Amino acid sequence: EYRPIAGTHPRGASEAEDEEIGRRLLADEKERAEHIMLVDLGRNDLGRVCEYSTVKVKDLMVLERYSHVIHIVSSIVGRLRPDADAFDTLMACFPAGTVSGAPKVRAMEIIAELEPARRGVYAGCILYLDFSGNLNSCIAIRTMVVRGRRAHIQVGAGIVADSVPEREYEETLSKAKALLRAVEVASTELRP
């Protein structure tokens, strides 16, 4: 199963506010276009290792709520070819379009040209792989690396033709909120 996540908005203060935010998020043309692009990219990636005509979109543009944000999420499935395994699937799908863009190879070249520092663990892969070949992975899409008394936080936002820089910036702040709260708690409540 491949689950592209794209389309993000801060949570509301109430259930009713979350419902309204969800409606607006699903109606937003920019968010829909970005999400559909990533669903198409995911279908293409899975198609590289799955049997012909088995790749299907199981769930399309479903809202999921997290502590500080609401996301649009889809689910794509397919049946692996007999000559492919879980690791082949990971290699076909990684890096995910949500952290690279499309077309993937050119997008990664642009990232290398424009970003002032290497990403480190950010946008990398955290996974579980057992001796039976079962694999479950996720993208390290919101990260905090702590060294000594310094925390380095990384988050991002998807940039497409219709992006409004101020909105993308606000999205990154919303995504960073839980990590910043963890730093706040650690620096005040855990101090001797």
**Which residues 6+ apart lie within 8 Å of 102 measured at CB?**
37, 38, 41
Residue 20: enclosing H or E segment and its boundaries?
Answer: helix 15-27
- 3 state SS for 47-105: HCCECCCCCEEEEEEEEEECCCEEEEEEEEECCECCCCCHHHHHHHHCCCHHHHCCCHH
Q: How far is CA 24 from CA 19, 62, 169, in A?
A: 9, 13, 19
Quote the CA–CA distance of 144 and 122 in Å, as a whole number.
8
- Residue 101 appears among annotated catalytic residues: no
Q: Which of 35, 122, 143, 156 is catalytic?
A: 122
Marked catalytic residue, from 98, 101, 143, 156: 98
> Can you name the residues that pair with 138 across neighbouring β-strands?
126
The amino acid occupying position 116 is: P
> Would you call 98 a catalytic residue per the annotation?
yes
Token output for 26: 């699903």
| 122 catalytically annotated | yes
Strand partners, 70: 9, 65
Residue 79 is a catalytic residue: no
- Residue 143 designated active-site: no
Which sequence positions are flagged as catalytic? 71, 98, 122, 142, 158
